[in-house]
Amino acid sequence: MKSSLRELLFDNRLVRELPADPITENYRRQVSGAIYSLVNPTPVKNPQLVAGAIEVAALLDLDASIFQQADFVKVFSGNQLLAGMQPHACCYGGHQFGNWAGQLGDGRAINLGEVLNSKGEHWTLQLKGAGPTPYSRTADGLAVLRSSVREFLCSEAMFHLGVPTTRALSLITTGEQVRRDMFYDGNPAWEPGAVVCRVAPSFTRFGNFEILSARGEIELLKRFVDFTIRNDFPQLLAAPDSPITTDTYLCWFSEVCIRTAQMIAHWMRVGFVHGVMNTDNMSILGLTIDYGPYGWLEGYDPSWTPNTTDAQGRRYRYGNQPQIALWNLTQLANAIYPLINSVEPLQAALSNYRIEYEKCVQRDIANKLGLVAFDSPRDEALTEELFALLQSAEIDMTIFYRELAGYSVNDIDQYSDLDWFANIAPAYYEQPTEENRVVAVSWLRRYGQRLQQDLVMHNRSDVERREIMNRTNPKYVLRNYLAQQAIDKATQGDNSEIDCLLHLLRNPYDEQPNFTRYYAKRPDWARHKAGCSMLSCSS
């Protein structure tokens, strides 16, 4: 472990191997014929560390003392560069809400470089909110504290839930004020500025390839895809210098489809709604990226979207995420078509998305319900009825699933209707009606029979069943109002709630008896409060 940032070793493959924008002045422009533009972070007045993730420091071989060192805030606020850093912003385009939007790019993200750690892994460090870049268009390149707290906490919460995601090393306030019209109602206000340092093997998005294809820069597209395969998907090549063929492109695309399917299945399992699944927010590595107006399902409602900008069309609602990911992959297929020049194999790769997604969902449902294996079509019917039950009233998804583990298979024959209902009653937001009870108990009884069969067939102990259920159904998630409470305190200069949530969410599947106050339905005051149930893209 290293105890000084100066010991970090940088190996900036992207900057070294791919063409840079020849212009190094920092003004907004269209950038063609290049993958990135060199650009420095803008220094800030008074950077202060709000929070840091020791696990992410460890990925960089840095020990926990690093956060206390004077140069840490300087470097990760953008005030100071380390030897070996080559700050740059990448060019990308994207489909936003279903429409091609042209050049977008890292408008407020600056990659500092790629750290090479002792395991031989490369980790790109990226500052979000460190000032304008050539891709900032009409915006300021900055980020506010509230959105930065949300990004920092959710990245780490997702990681600990086992969901593929970019990571967050640090959250630093800048000591400067940023003007935002949070409600888009013509009433902008000054808010504290902040910078998050994100960390990932790479931040390449579908949109990085789309922009090259849209501009007809096919040679460059090929170079970037080849680079991505060699560096982000080395396992697809027999040897590092193996030639890349059309088959390699297809294997790669198929792998992207599979990873995306796995990521979406995880989102659906834990009740995460990304909120802005534009193709520029889709990582080529299948990582959850760009935590903006995301949210967590409280009441199980597939039509829910946290994003106020999406309130009309609800394109990015919870239940639509699997289809949208496929739509996004189809845009990526279109973008790389010039490297393949044949439709059928791309379609075949795309069909792997559905196959993988189904496989993951069936595995997850089985684990969520505590069954050894998903049995089609019998369990399909059981699942459909479960989803209907979950929508028969406002029922908290997290609490409902977690409480299912509490039944004891050996006692099932003795359970009365009251016994059955007692476990899940705390998940209801309103007093359950008689009809609610009937619907729930009828499903629970079927579920109980299925559990008994499963037990006989597979001879799995109740203890083991519960363990698997409790490792699949988190007890603690970053409920929308919890993040907001941490933001409200941090805005008053008290970071304790951020620390507390970071600590809690490190072990989301554990009981953590001292924290049961966080295992609670959204309180009524949060139902319609901004930041808790509705979020704008303003960040």
- Angstrom distance (rounded) from CA 446 to CA 4: 59
Residue type, 128: K
CB 93 within 8 A of CB 106: no
Compute, in degrees rounded to 10, the torsion defined by CA atoms 229, 233, 236, 238: 90
Q: How far is CA 341 from the centre of its chain?
A: 32
Interacting residue with ligand AMP among 55, 140, 301, 417 (CB under 6 A): 140
Q: Output phi, psi for 341, to 5 deg.
A: 55, 30
Q: Is 290 an interacting residue with respect to Mg ion (CB under 5 A)?
A: yes
User: Which positions from 141 to 160 touch ligand AMP by CB under 6 A, shown as an x/- string?
Assistant: xx------------------
Nearer to Mg ion, 90 or 270 (CB): 90
Nearer to Mg ion, 47 or 107 (CB): 107
Distance in Å, CB of 94 to ligand AMP, minimum: 7
Task: Give Cβ neighbours of residue 219 (< 8 Å, ≥ 6 apart).
Answer: none
Q: Cα angle at 281 between 275 and 287, to 5 degrees?
A: 95
106 interface partner picked from ligand AMP, Mg ion, none, CB below 5 to 8 A per type: ligand AMP
Element (H, E) at 89: strand 88-90
Active site residue 280: yes
Pick out residues in 310-369 that bind ligand AMP (CB under 6 A): none
Compute the Cα dihedral for 214, 216, 217, 218 and give only its sign. positive
Minimum Å gap between C-beta 40 and ligand AMP is 16
Residue of minimal Cβ distance to ligand AMP: 107
Q: Which is nearer to ligand AMP, 72 or 209 (CB)?
A: 209
Which of the residues 21, 106, 232, 280 is marked catalytic? 280
Number of residues that bind Mg ion (CB under 5 A): 2
| Binding of Mg ion by 210 (CB under 5 A) | no
x-or-dash string of contact with ligand AMP, 277-306, rule CB under 6 A:
---xx--------x-x--------------
Query: What is the distance, to the nearest Å, from the Cα of residue 311 to the centroid of all Cα atoms in its chain?
Result: 20
In angstroms, give the least distance from the CB of 482 to Mg ion: 24
* Closest of 367, 390, 532 to residue 454, by C-alpha: 367
Q: Considering only residues 260 through 289, tell me which ones interact with Mg ion, judged by CB under 5 A.
A: 281
Residue 108 binds ligand AMP (CB under 6 A): yes
Report d(CA 166, CA 160) in Å as an integer.
Answer: 12
Position 91 contacts ligand AMP (CB under 6 A): no
Is 446 marked as a binding-site residue? no
Both tokens assigned to 377: 């079509």
Tokens 């970053």 -> residue: 478
- Which residues belong to the annotated binding site for ATP? 105, 107-108, 128, 140-141, 198, 205, 290
Active-site residue list: 280
The binding site for ligand AMP (CB under 6 A) comprises 104-108, 135-136, 139-142, 276, 280-281, 290, 292, 537
